[in-house]
Structure 1
Amino acid sequence: MVYIHFIVNPISGNGNHNIGKTELEKYFSKEKFKIEVDYSNHKKHAITLTKKAIENNPNCIVACGGDGTINEVASCLINTKIKLGIIPVGSGNGLASNLNIPKEIKKATEIIRNGNSQTIDVGQVNEHYFFSNMGIGIDAHIIKKYETYKKRTLIAYIKASVTSSFQFKPIQTVLAFNNQIINTNSFLLFISNSNEMGYGMSLTPKASLQDGWLDLVVVSKLNFINKLILGMYVLSNKVEKFKNAQHSLIQKMSIKIPNKINTDIQIDGEYYNIKTNKIDVSIIKNGLEIIMQ
């Protein structure tokens, strides 16, 4: 019998889903599957629930939520034999989209029942992990603003982006990667493991979860016109054509922010303020086994 443990965020996607034990039992027969369901109630609660579930040695732990919930569950499964499953019910659903996991519960549960899995790379930033992307430039400011809105929708994200483009001031950063040191005023400093960041948008459309590399995008201080041009390229998924963007493949990188004590950062679409101005980024190759088509 296959033991599957579900971690459900009941408010993901503004709570517009009915995922619970009763609903899930429709898709997993008692003859073949043992299922348990826990519900997260606040940020980082899914971490506690996942660690407790691991003690019971399930075959798979399924994150039912958005990229933030997936990050909390997956972070506990790195370099374990427990597979990660995903039922995407968040707003952006960037990682699930990259993995071609549909939002329809019937189709998503079918993928989980089939149990086909592969390993993917994992990004690490200090003591945190990321599976889609992280950033300390304007994207962190956008997420910080976005999280203040009552509803997480594409319109809210665009509103946060426009507001942030006027408010955010580039930060002095010293970047060390690929045997070079760059001192720049970063408007955008984005590191991605996947080819989508949510809502169908991408800064790194050629990124792969399984190539052993992280994709780095750095954009220095911009004038108003170039901010508008960058915004249009982001919406059309053509940032690689923006002449002011520097693209690199990295496996490790160090970032220093001389004029800061704490750092605003977004990790898989969630805002954090970390108590340091020194950041180390690296990749864990094949660090997570995940159920996919």
Structure 2
Amino acid sequence: MDTGTDLLIGIIIVVVMLLVGLGVGLAVGRRSSASRGGDGKGRDRRVDLAGGAQDLTPMTSADEDSGQETVVPPKPRVAIIVNPSKPDAAGLEATAGAVCRQEGWDAPIMFETEVEDPGCTMARQALEQQVDLVVAAGGDGTVRAVAEVLAGTGVPMGVVPMGTGNLLARNLDIVLGRPEWALRIALWGEDTAVDVAHAQIEPGGKDHAFMVMAGLGFDAAVMADTDSDLKSKVGWLAYLEAGSRKLVGTRTKVRVTVDGGEPFTEKIRSVVAGNCGKLQGGITLLPEAELDDGILDVIVIAPKNAVQWIGVAASVLGRNKRKGLHTEIHRCREIIIESEEEIEVQLDGDAVGSSTYLAMQVEEHALTMRTATRQQKRAIRAEGWPIPVG
């Protein structure tokens, strides 16, 4: 294999890992396991480890001195919305029941997502039951759907990360690979107000929430063009195959309007807006992005050819904050991108089709997330959470 081929392969791997890394965890497991969807839309069941039905009526007890009954306040209730296609989903119901019992909560109400409904309907049903907490158990697609419904309601949201990427959980420092610990963080962690980003893919069109990143161009095209059969066989490596076909391409002329200012034109390969900045593998695409600052960080990527992608990779790995080689970052509350031709769009790793228009805004502190307390973080670092489940 000659040096030029080695260089091109190296570029492909770096670029796809940087720009499509978010799509790996956001899309792989969810789409490839469609046959394992829920057996009924919004199916709701209450876990009772003792085997009986749960009575939600406030309990009463007799006062020995006065002979009067006193009302015992009901235990707090949690609804858990789980993607059943995830490997850890099968044991979550029992784990959640045990954790809730140990932490003094009522038995959890379980909902399962479906292929055609990643969690929006289930989140609405959870709110109708006036629960104290809603937990999204799945990948970032499940998290995005639940967050879209909970935004602005004041009802706290927890996350049990079960995807491959789990990018929102990574940005919030929620423990990965330990569902029982993530559940305890959700039940008695601290409330953190975070921003919710919104996107419209046509003027005046439907509003779509996203929590991690959204954009158009190269990254969205790779996600849309990845072969599903290959993906089911080799997982995230299928994105490298798609990326190798998309890496060498032409730039698209777009008009960009930032915070209502004077529009400017740019030839781009990709534009990605982030509500937060971390990807997998310790890579930070947007070094100044914070989940609670009321600001969108938007990177414009504009290499002319395959060799210039090396500069893009160097800029990202070097954490250039504003201007890098063939990259530029804008910080804003709203951005509108209008293209001369239709190009692919993605929201949190989901390809949503092609468009000539993408508008994105940020809604500051719209969602309350449960995050780990300092005490919980210490226990996680020490792997010393003392209470086993079961």
The corresponding residue for 2:145 is 72
The corresponding residue for 1:100 is 173
Mapped contact 1:63–1:87 kept (Cα < 8 A): yes
SS of the equivalent of 1:25 reads helix
Aligned residues: 286
- Once the two structures are overlaid, the 10-residue window that deviates more, 129-138 or 42-51, is 42-51
1:91 aligned onto 2:170:
no
In structure 2, C-alpha distance between the alignment counterparts of 1:215 and 1:151, rounded to whole Å: 35
Q: Which structure would you say has the larger Rg?
A: 2
Residues 81-119 of structure 1: CA deviation (Å, up to 9, x unaligned): 211110001011111000000111132112112141111
Which residue among 253, 257, 273 is the counterpart of 1:172?
A: 253
Q: 1:217 to 1:130 in 2, by over 3 A?
A: same
1:162 aligned onto 2:244:
yes
Matched residue type, 2:98: K
1:282 aligned onto 2:376:
no
Q: Which runs of 5+ in 1 are unaligned?
A: none
In structure 2, C-alpha distance between the alignment counterparts of 1:237 and 1:19, rounded to whole Å: 41
In structure 2, C-alpha distance between the alignment counterparts of 1:147 and 1:209, rounded to whole Å: 33
The corresponding residue for 1:272 is 352
In structure 1, C-alpha distance between the alignment counterparts of 2:227 and 2:277, rounded to whole Å: 23
The corresponding residue for 2:268 is 186
Q: 1:9 to 1:136 in 2, by over 3 A?
A: same
The corresponding residue for 2:96 is 24
In structure 2, C-alpha distance between the alignment counterparts of 1:270 and 1:16, rounded to whole Å: 22
Higher helix fraction (1 or 2): 2
In structure 2, C-alpha distance between the alignment counterparts of 1:64 and 1:84, rounded to whole Å: 11
Compute the displacement of 1:170 (Å). 2.5
In structure 1, C-alpha distance between the alignment counterparts of 2:238 and 2:282, rounded to whole Å: 15
Compute the displacement of 1:145 (Å). 3.2
Matched residue type, 1:171: T
Poorly superposed stretches of 4+, deviation over 6 Å: none
SS of the equivalent of 2:363 reads strand
Q: Which runs of 5+ in 2 are unaligned?
A: 1-74, 201-206, 373-390
Compute the displacement of 1:53 (Å). 1.6
SS of the equivalent of 2:307 reads helix
Alignment RMSD: 2.3
Normalization by structure 1: what TM-score? 0.89
Which residue among 49, 62, 70 is the counterpart of 2:122?
A: 49
In structure 1, C-alpha distance between the alignment counterparts of 2:350 and 2:91, rounded to whole Å: 22
SS of the equivalent of 1:2 reads coil
Q: 1:147 to 1:288 in 2, by over 3 A?
A: farther
Compute the displacement of 1:189 (Å). 0.3
In structure 2, C-alpha distance between the alignment counterparts of 1:147 and 1:129, rounded to whole Å: 26
Mapped contact 1:186–1:219 kept (Cα < 8 A): yes
The corresponding residue for 1:113 is 187
Matched residue type, 1:118: T
Residues 113-135 of structure 1: CA deviation (Å, up to 9, x unaligned): 21411110111112101111101
1:128 aligned onto 2:214:
no
Higher strand fraction (1 or 2): 1
- Once the two structures are overlaid, the 10-residue window that deviates more, 248-257 or 153-162, is 153-162
In structure 2, C-alpha distance between the alignment counterparts of 1:146 and 1:71, rounded to whole Å: 22
Normalization by structure 2: what TM-score? 0.68
Q: 1:277 to 1:150 in 2, by over 3 A?
A: same
Matched residue type, 2:131: P
Matched residue type, 2:272: F
1:3 aligned onto 2:91:
no
Compute the displacement of 1:64 (Å). 0.6
In structure 2, C-alpha distance between the alignment counterparts of 1:151 and 1:117, rounded to whole Å: 40
The corresponding residue for 1:211 is 293
The corresponding residue for 1:33 is 106
Q: 1:175 to 1:269 in 2, by over 3 A?
A: same
In structure 2, C-alpha distance between the alignment counterparts of 1:164 and 1:201, rounded to whole Å: 22
Mapped contact 1:194–1:207 kept (Cα < 8 A): yes
- Once the two structures are overlaid, the 10-residue window that deviates more, 206-215 or 16-25, is 16-25
